[in-house]
Amino acid sequence: MFSNNKNSFRQGNASSGNNQRDRGQRGGGRRFTTSRNDATKSEFDQKVLDIARVTRVTKGGKRFTFRTTVVIGDGKSRVGVGIGKGKDVAQSVQKGFNKAKRNLINVLIVDGTIPYQVESKYGSAVVLLRPARGGVKAGGPVRVVVQLAGIKALSGKLIERTNNKINIAMATVNALSKLRVKNNSTK
């Protein structure tokens, strides 16, 4: 009799699991359903640049974590880059979003582009940004950072190219943060 109760308990759990699958709520997808995320989602657009599975070998075996690079921007001259690490992808994306929010910069935009040419180096990546007219002519992380900042026209060039997307994104943010307003006051 005791074993029947146990089996019925297992069957109850299995049937509830099947109902969840029927409704499309399996545990492997991205879920951003908390009210705090909805409030921040409306303010900033986000783009995941890079997801890396990092393995740490210990005495008991391998431990897996995820490192995620997230770029956020409001399309009105504010942009930020953050790196988050966590046990699963959703946790690392949320941490990266929070770090990017803390690292926001204001970008000087004049007529949908930057006012003058600027160059920046971060790690092994060197990025050159020039004002342009006909849209964003840049690839990879430079395009993502620039578009989330709200820049409509720009020409970007990687002078010293690297495959490290984090360094390219950080070099782009550093270049955009160097832009300043020219003061023409004579006293």
pLDDT computed for residue 185 by the predictor: 60
Q: For the chain, where do the domains classified as CATH 3.30.160.20 start and end? A: 35-105
Q: For the chain, where do the domains classified as CATH 3.30.230.10 start and end? A: 107-177
Phi-psi region of 112 (alpha: psi -120 to 50; beta: other; left: phi over 0): left
Between helix 35-43 and helix 89-102 the angle, nearest 10°, is: 50
- CA 187 vs CA 1, 122, 181, 182, 183: distances in Å: 97, 38, 18, 15, 12
Residue linked to tokens 């790196």:
83
* CATH number of this structure's domain 107-177: 3.30.230.10
**Domain 35-105's class?**
alpha beta
Long-range contacts of 8-15, Cβ-Cβ distance < 8 Å, separation of 24 or more: none
Q: In this structure, what token pair is assigned to residue 128?
A: 């050159």
Residue type, 62: K
For the segment 112-133, what is each residue's pLDDT rounded down to a tens digit? 999 999 999 999 999 999 999 8
pLDDT computed for residue 20 by the predictor: 43
Residues of the chain with pLDDT under 70: 1-42, 185-187
